Amino acid sequence: MYVIVEIAGQQFKAEKGRKLYVHRLQGEENSSVSFDKVLLTDNDGQVKVGAPVVKGAAVKCKILKHLKDDKVLVFKKKRRTGYQKCNGHRQYLTQILVEEIVA
């Protein structure tokens, strides 16, 4: 069984026991969070599509840790003018573990 769930504005495929990296969430490590914006459920071929969400469905997760992603470099250059600029950032992420899917 899997579901498509919206977490912090992004859509993820969630299965029981799967770890996901999502944008930074509010909450302490080892605390549990629940997401109720389930867009689709698939239970062994029985597919339910929400309009816009599936009623009564939720995903219960546990926050494992807060971390930073790898560095992303942004390099800008204009040819023949001597213009070069290098910027970079590291995205803040949260690792969560899907514990239960309520459909």
Count, in order, helices (H) and strands (E) of the chain.
0, 8
Q: What is the pLDDT along the chain (103 residues), one digit of tens a residue?
A: 999 999 999 999 999 999 999 999 999 999 999 999 999 999 989 999 999 999 999 999 999 999 999 999 999 999 999 999 999 999 999 999 999 999 8
- What distance in Å separates the CA atoms of residue 94 and residue 68, rounded to the nearest whole number? 8
DSSP state for residue 26 in the 8-state scheme: S
**pLDDT value for 103:** 81
- What distance in Å separates the CA atoms of residue 103 and residue 38, rounded to the nearest whole number? 9
